[in-house]
Amino acid sequence: MAQPHNILIIRLSSLGDVLMSVPAVRALRERFPDAHISWLAEGSVTGILAHQDFIDEVIFFPRAALTRHLRKGHLSTTAYILRDFLKSLRKREYDWIVDLHGIAKSVGLMMIARGKRRIGFGKTFAKDMSHIFYQERVNGFQKRIHKVERNMLAARHLGWADASPIPEAPLLVHENARTYIDDFLRSHDIRPPFFAVNPFASKDSAFKRWPLERYADLIGRIRRERMGSVVIIWGPGEREEAQRLVALVGDNAQLACQTDIAQLYALLARSSVYIGGDTGTTHLASAANVPVLTIFGPTDFIVNRPYSKNSVIIRKDIPCSPCKKKDCRTRECLMTISSDEVFEALRKIPLKDEA
């Protein structure tokens, strides 16, 4: 196999899926240390990707800006943004374009980029008929495998040794992010051990959330048992609900400071245990090598669980799970998980030493 000089990785979003792509990209870096690796992504994940030493370049796809200006009728601004993006995407010819996303949007961007070999997932994993556009297809025999292992199939297709252990996925963050978090913890007198609790999920994923009131019960138990402090994690659009949870628990929890992804990673890395649902922040905590307790509901834990030996899953094995029924009225898979059950599992988790 000819050694590639330029490799383009396409995994646009979301945070959790991007993090579950990191081991495969690390594997390619280890296999081809002299190659120039670019990563095409969108949204806030580009900020933390740009700080990683196994990536040479992050190409930002300005989808949100393009959509916003186009809807407002700002055609000239849209044209300028699109021109600059296309210039960045097409400035070099890639020996390999590896599409780890496998949707119509990623295929469209792959076709626009200049590449010699276009590689993506076969029919087992591809969506939107994306597999028909690849020159080389990475096939799998079992659809329900973890996303990290699925992405590693692509790395192995491209030369990563089968017997090699899957690379770990710790992230680098700038010193300013760690200082920001140190200042927050110091100013609120938060000392180890402390529990990072994230009761939220992305805007269109509320069906995956365990009830806020049960998080309140759990936090109360943690504090009554004097296990440590509790910091409530929140993200864009979640502050009001996070404040409601603080109101439910009184002085038993502290609202986290506002963070970007790098700052959030720095905060999670300082925590003793992380508690949350199936969301990108959970995978960020796992990447920070923090003990993770994940409350799974309708989503497939085999495919989406934190890829860590230091992880505990709480779920109910009911006939209808997994599913993607966002309008489920009973949400039995989540409503049958009690705060007592979660607390008992939490008590058995060894706390992480302070970093």
| Res 162: pLDDT | 78
- Asked whether 156 and 139 are in contact (CB, 8 A), the reply is no
- The pLDDT mean for the chain works out to 95
Read off the pLDDT of residues 200-244 as tens digits, 9 standing for 90 and up: 998 778 899 999 999 999 999 999 999 999 999 999 999 999 999
From CA 157, how far away is CA 147, in angstroms rounded? 16
| Res 204: pLDDT | 79
| Res 78: pLDDT | 97
Same domain, 335 and 227: yes
Task: Confirm whether 355 is domain-assigned.
Answer: no
| Res 168: pLDDT | 85
Boundary residue ending a domain (157, 183, 210): 157
| Res 355: pLDDT | 39
| Cβ partners under 8 Å of residue 155, min gap 6 | 23, 24, 25, 27, 28, 31
| CATH number of the CATH domain containing 90 | 3.40.50.2000
Task: Confirm whether 353 is domain-assigned.
Answer: no
User: What is the pTM (predicted TM-score) of this model?
Assistant: 0.95
Same domain, 24 and 122: yes
Task: Confirm whether 245 is domain-assigned.
Answer: yes
Instruction: Check whether the bond before 199 is cis (ω within 30° of 0).
Output: no
From CA 24, how far away is CA 154, in angstroms rounded? 7
From CA 257, how far away is CA 266, in angstroms rounded? 12
Same domain, 86 and 204: no
If one counts the domains in the chain, the total is: 2
- For residue 8, give the nearest of 112, 83, 138 by alpha carbon: 112
Read off the pLDDT of residues 297-342 as tens digits, 9 standing for 90 and up: 999 999 999 999 999 999 999 999 999 888 898 999 999 999 999 9
Angle at 283 between CA 344 and CA 250, to 5 degrees: 50
- Asked whether 39 and 55 are in contact (CB, 8 A), the reply is yes
Mean pLDDT for 23-39 is 97
Boundary residue ending a domain (109, 125, 157): 157
pLDDT at 153 over 60: yes
From CA 297, how far away is CA 317, in angstroms rounded? 10
Same domain, 289 and 262: yes
pLDDT at 296 over 80: yes
Structural element, H or E, at residue 258: none
Task: Confirm whether 223 is domain-assigned.
Answer: yes
Same domain, 236 and 306: yes
Task: Confirm whether 131 is domain-assigned.
Answer: yes
Higher pLDDT, 326 or 245: 245
pLDDT at 113 over 90: yes
| Res 164: pLDDT | 82
Same domain, 152 and 183: no
131 falls in which pLDDT band (50, 70, 90)? very high
Task: Confirm whether 164 is domain-assigned.
Answer: no
| Res 1: pLDDT | 65
Same domain, 182 and 151: no
From CA 238, how far away is CA 77, in angstroms rounded? 31
Range of the domain at 52: 6-157
pLDDT at 107 over 70: yes
Same domain, 202 and 144: no
- Asked whether 296 and 277 are in contact (CB, 8 A), the reply is yes
pLDDT at 48 over 50: yes
Task: Confirm whether 165 is domain-assigned.
Answer: no
| Res 174: pLDDT | 95
pLDDT at 147 over 50: yes
pLDDT at 141 over 70: yes
Read off the pLDDT of residues 49-96 as tens digits, 9 standing for 90 and up: 999 999 999 999 999 999 999 999 999 999 999 999 999 999 999 999
pLDDT at 267 over 50: yes
- For residue 232, give the nearest of 186, 287, 188 by alpha carbon: 188
Same domain, 153 and 181: no
